[in-house]
Structure 1
């Protein structure tokens, strides 16, 4: 059984992204279904984190490939 933290878009809180099986850290870059997100806020109760789309520079830093 995982951690079970729900991820939402920061500027559209009604926009559910995914449920993570671990607790992310601030500024983590996470790939979900081919999209990269940067974690901006993590809270424990309730288990929710907020993220936005990662910048091209962040994606390059993580993958080593600059997105087109």
Structure 2
């Protein structure tokens, strides 16, 4: 299992969390998605490790922006 954290910009409410979670949960191999709304932090547990491009596409499909990773 892989645990990855992503910063998602633009989320401000429970509906935002729902949209992002739903888009990420359908990616192949995703086991769970947890969102810390105040921190704009999304944690994804998956097997195998997700490609950043796939995560970016899912987040953008939900209507939000994936922050550049350090």
Do they superpose with TM above 0.5?
no
When the two structures are superposed, what TM-score results if normalisation uses the length of structure 1? 0.30
**Which structure shows the bigger proportion of residues in helix conformation?**
2
Higher share in strand:
1
TM-score (norm 2): 0.30
